[in-house]
Amino acid sequence: MATKPAAAAPAAPKSETVHEYVLHRRDGDDSVPLMSDQDLDVAKAAKIEAIRDAAKNGRARPDLFIVDRKCVYPLRNGKRQAQGSTCDESEV
């Protein structure tokens, strides 16, 4: 009786891609990230809520924008590594 060779285990991934939407507030020439989520609708809802909250409390309307962010992280021992990562960002 012939034995079948054992199937090779699938190769471990060498990188991981993270796609998220980040809500930012403009602060002069800089921006401050306020929150992020993988769902664009969640980021949009947070933006609407922040504007509504400012109006309700008599504050100036915040200058908010959403960034579509896709990052690729190399993996070492299954953990994301910042060194060697790349990010592609664009304003929604």
Q: Where are the domains of the chain?
A: 15-91
How far is residue 54's CA from residue 61's CA, in Å, rounded to a whole number?
A: 6
- For the cut 80, the answer to whether the pLDDT of residue 10 exceeds it is no
| Model pLDDT for residues 13-57, shown as the tens digit of each residue | 899 999 999 999 999 899 999 999 999 999 999 999 999 999 999
- For the cut 70, the answer to whether the pLDDT of residue 1 exceeds it is no
For 9, 21, 28, 49, the CA distances from 1, given in Å and listed in that order, are: 24, 57, 76, 69
- For the cut 90, the answer to whether the pLDDT of residue 9 exceeds it is no
This prediction's pTM: 0.79
What is the pLDDT of the chain when averaged over all its residues?
93
Q: How confident is the model at residue 2 (pLDDT cuts 50, 70, 90)?
A: low
